[in-house]
Chain A
Amino acid sequence: MKTRYAIPIFLAAFVVQSAALRYIAIRDVSPNILLCLVIVFAFLYDEPFGACFGVIFGILWDIEFGLYVGVSAVSQMAAALAVMRIKRYLNHELLLPALAAGLAGTALNNVVYWGLYKLTGIPHTLLYILEMQPVLIAYNLLFVMLFHLILRRSVIRHRKDREYKGGFKEAKGFIVK
């Protein structure tokens, strides 16, 4: 994935997240597709796209919707780094490991995000925060699955790979064990 392709993808996700996703909210919770993209990019690519775009778009997100600037950036960077760490032990091609990474990334993001906000003294109770987690996690996993199915074809280009269809150049950054 080249940066010139990644930037429009993240920008589109940012706009869709803010303008449209509230219309598909379940129990007043909509998915965080920006975080889903950060997780999938961190899971699929060896370049630190996930962490970098997590920080940049996290700051932009906080400017638009955050109480304090930087909280989303920290939490998304933490999620991306955690996913980059655990993906060494997982198969990138398969959906189930991607969902496991999605679950770990979402959980860590939420813990860091709410942890930092609780330190600043927001009025939200732990019960209120926990109530929205099941829907948020389920929704996020759905979008992680969707993004993984779409984006994995752009990285898996080795002859030994399951998804190899022929006619591609081998990707430089992709490590095949």
Chain B
Amino acid sequence: MRWIRKHTGASTIIAVFAALLILVLVSYQTFGESNILGRAAGRALGVIQTPFAQAARFLDERFSVYTLSNELVRENERLRVRVEALERELSEARLSGADLTDLEKLSEALNYADIGDDYELVTADVIGLDRSSGFNIFTINVGSEDGVSDDSVVIDGDGLIGRVMTASENTAKVISIIDETNKVGFQVFRNLEWLGMLQGDGAGGLTGYMLDETAAVREGDRLVTSAIGGFYPPGLMIGKVTSVEWNHDSPLKTVHVEPAAYFKSIRKVTVLL
């Protein structure tokens, strides 16, 4: 006690450090879920952030016309390649009436259901995103008032984005699949019986393994979510296989996957309710 009275400053610093480390430990134990205080802070910050985010986006859209940055050039190139690929796919996929009837029968046989049939969809704007920390965690402008809850699944036009970590009344914090330590179950679109598990590879992509060692997965195969893993409904586009490795030390095939969603320019997302 005497030491504490004598070294007030040092004691305060040690106490604050200890309190913060306990906070980190508690947060780690609860997987980052916010309590009532955290949700209240999130709600208040959402009210402040929303108009600024809208203003920043407005300015960005106006100025980006004049300042064509390298990022935009790269994105433009990426979209051009994608449009060409889609046009090729479209020309190859023109169906005759007979093909369409066959596909409808197949769809019924597989008991296929569109995401929109099972879930309500809520569109949201990204109002907060940090690019200084290296994480792909962002805030969207919908929350529990709109029906969003913890673990709601988030997608965009390209594919699976991630899930809601914490939802306050008017905002929600979303963690992307590439930052997620939880595993995502997948199936290969070419053969839906080939199953596997994926998780972030720590460098902006995904890596995982096939559950069936005989599955002939190959580069370019598209992967969609499977029912395995818990969080995500089956059928959502995850990404494309960039390489397949066969490790002789392990019975499992390793796959490296490029996510379908383009995480660098997320602005609008859809939440499945």
Report which A residues bind B (CB closer than 8 A): 11, 14-23, 25, 28-32, 35, 51, 55, 59-74, 77, 81, 113-114, 116, 120-125, 127-129, 132, 136
Contacts of B20 in A (CB 8 A): 55, 70, 73-74, 77
Q: With A32-B132, A113-B133, A122-B181 as given contacts, are A74 and B21 in contact (CB-CB < 8 Å)?
A: yes
Question: Which residues of B, 95-136, contact A by the 8 Å Cβ criterion?
Answer: 127-135
Contacts of B86 in A (CB 8 A): none
Contacts of A32 in B (CB 8 A): 132-133
Report the interface size for chain B: residues with CB under 8 A from the other chain. Answer: 48
Q: Are A65 and B38 in contact (CB under 8 A)?
A: no
Provide the bound-state CA to CA distance between A14 and B45, in Å. 10
Q: Are A120 and B28 in contact (CB under 8 A)?
A: yes
Q: Are B28 and A68 in contact (CB under 8 A)?
A: yes
Contacts of A72 in B (CB 8 A): 133
Q: Are A66 and B131 in contact (CB under 8 A)?
A: no
Report which B residues bind A (CB closer than 8 A): 13, 16-17, 20-21, 23-24, 27-28, 32, 34, 38, 41-42, 45, 48-49, 52-53, 55-56, 59-60, 71, 127-135, 137-139, 173, 175, 179-181, 199-204, 264
Contacts of A128 in B (CB 8 A): 134, 202-204
Q: Are B131 and A65 in contact (CB under 8 A)?
A: no
Count the A-B residue pairs with Cβ separation under 8 angstroms: how many?
143
Set A22, A77, A113: member contacting B129, Cβ < 8 A: A22
Provide the bound-state CA to CA distance between A25 and B131, in Å. 7
Q: Are B137 and A65 in contact (CB under 8 A)?
A: yes
Q: With A17-B130, A17-B132, A70-B24 as given contacts, are A123 and B173 in contact (CB-CB < 8 Å)?
A: no
Q: Are B52 and A74 in contact (CB under 8 A)?
A: no
10 more A-B contacts (CB under 8 A) besides A20-B52, A67-B175? A28-B131, A51-B13, A63-B38, A67-B137, A68-B24, A68-B28, A77-B17, A81-B13, A121-B181, A128-B203
Q: Are A123 and B201 in contact (CB under 8 A)?
A: yes
Q: Are B27 and A70 in contact (CB under 8 A)?
A: yes
Q: Are A64 and B28 in contact (CB under 8 A)?
A: no
Question: 28 pairs across A/B with beta carbons < 8 Å?
Answer: A15-B49, A18-B49, A18-B130, A19-B128, A20-B56, A21-B131, A22-B131, A23-B60, A30-B130, A59-B23, A62-B27, A63-B42, A63-B45, A64-B130, A65-B133, A65-B173, A66-B133, A66-B135, A69-B23, A69-B32, A69-B34, A70-B27, A73-B20, A74-B17, A123-B181, A123-B199, A124-B179, A124-B200
